[in-house]
């Protein structure tokens, strides 16, 4: 008994509570148990189904549900193994997992909690209890997600902040497959200090917001991250993208900001607000995290070159 997953809709409504669009992955090799859980949750949530641990990992990795109800005893990859693998992956580690099991031994429950499960429901289960616990853990997840978003978002421009970038760079570095490329674009608003001095800080803030919005309008590849690196600097992380493609994206970003046509009469790079961008690329598989700093330094050197040659341009780092 299987169902093809679909992309989940937003998991909360305007009141800040989980909405009917929240997605729940039910994992059990027993059709009877699945039917019972579906009956309890149908119409309230977007239900995804898996009948094996392997299938559960595949669906969770592609869809990233809001909650997983996971049977412990399954042939092949059991629930404990599934939970362990979910918690080892950046993409799935924050999904709340509720074990559904006939095991009532305290040691079994402790083993599940140590793996990262948030709750236990014992079989035979009470459907009202299942409903209530699902609602409770979705509400808790919503509030955790809100806090995480706030801690990872730049308050002025609404793009990712430096902390989020640092975390993503580390995650990309450790998860890169053999011979996989990782590219970085470091950009700077040209003569932004002069802009601030000439137009005032409120205008400067508005300028940065518009620049960020223009950069967000560029369709970047899946997995890419746009972040404010600091001050008037923005950075784009491009996992799986080589230097040639990264240069193409960098040029699109430059053109998107130029298209704003926002006046900057204090710039010698042109009459409107513009970007200088530096691009660097590497294949980090097996490398030390300290080498990630070298990638940033290389992009920074390329950015310096773009500024040296008149700004409002894109340069690639060549060793």
Taking only the tens place, the pLDDT of each residue in 108-159 is 778 888 999 999 988 888 889 999 999 999 999 988 888 877 789 999 999 9
d(CA 128, CA 205): 51
Catalytic site includes residue 232: yes
Checking if the pLDDT of 1 tops 70, the result is no
d(CA 7, CA 9): 7
Checking if the pLDDT of 11 tops 80, the result is no
d(CA 307, CA 312): 8
Segment 152-176 shows an average pLDDT of 90
Element (H, E) at 121: strand 119-122
What separation, in Å, do the N-terminal and C-terminal C-alpha atoms of the chain show?
55
The answer to whether 72 touches 78, Cβ cutoff 8 Å, is yes
CATH superfamily label, 23-152: Response regulator (3.40.50.2300)
Domain residues of the chain, as ranges? 23-152, 162-316
The pLDDT, as a whole number, for residue 8 is 36
* Confidence tier at 287 by pLDDT (50, 70, 90): low
CATH superfamily label, 162-316: Reverse transcriptase/Diguanylate cyclase domain (3.30.70.270)
182-189 and 225-230: which strand pairing? unpaired
The answer to whether 152 touches 164, Cβ cutoff 8 Å, is yes
The pLDDT, as a whole number, for residue 205 is 97
Catalytic residue among 4, 139, 168, 232: 232
Q: Please tell me the pTM assigned to this model.
A: 0.64
pLDDT in tens, 83-120: 999 998 878 999 999 999 887 777 877 888 899 999 99
């Amino acid at each position: 008994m299987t169902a093809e997953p679909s992309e989940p809709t937003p998991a909360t409504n305007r009141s800040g509570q989980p909405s009917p669009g929240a997605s729940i992955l039910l994992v059990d090799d027993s059709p009877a148990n699945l039917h019972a859980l579906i009956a309890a949750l149908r119409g309230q949530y977007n239900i995804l189904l898996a009948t094996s641990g392997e299938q559960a990992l595949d669906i969770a990795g592609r869809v990233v549900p809001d909650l997983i109800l996971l049977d412990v005893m399954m042939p092949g990859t059991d629930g404990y193994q599934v939970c362990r693998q979910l918690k080892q992956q950046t993409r799935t580690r924050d999904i709340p997992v509720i074990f559904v099991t006939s095991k009532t031994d305290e040691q079994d429950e402790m083993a599940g909690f140590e793996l990262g499960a948030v709750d236990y429901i014992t079989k035979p289960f009470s459907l009202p209890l299942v409903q209530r616990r699902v609602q409770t853990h979705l509400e808790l997840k919503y509030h955790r997600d809100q806090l995480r978003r706030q801690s990872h978002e730049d308050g002025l421009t609404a793009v990712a902040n430096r902390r989020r970038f640092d975390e993503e760079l580390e995650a990309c570095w450790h998860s890169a497959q053999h011979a996989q490329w990782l590219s970085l674009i470091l950009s700077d608003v040209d003569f932004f200090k002069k802009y601030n001095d000439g137009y005032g800080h409120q205008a400067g803030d508005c300028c940065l917001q518009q620049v960020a919005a223009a950069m967000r309008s560029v369709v970047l590849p899946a997995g890419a991250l746009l972040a404010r690196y600091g001050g008037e600097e923005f950075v784009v992380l491009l996992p799986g993208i080589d230097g040639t493609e990264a240069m193409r994206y960098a040029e699109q970003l430059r053109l998107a900001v130029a298209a704003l046509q926002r006046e900057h009469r204090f710039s010698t790079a042109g009459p409107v607000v513009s970007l200088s961008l530096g691009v660097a690329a590497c294949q980090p598989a097996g490398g030390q995290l300290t080498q990630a700093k070298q990638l940033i330094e290389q992009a920074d050197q390329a950015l310096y070159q773009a500024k040296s040659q008149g700004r409002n341009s894109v340069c690639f780092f060549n060793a």
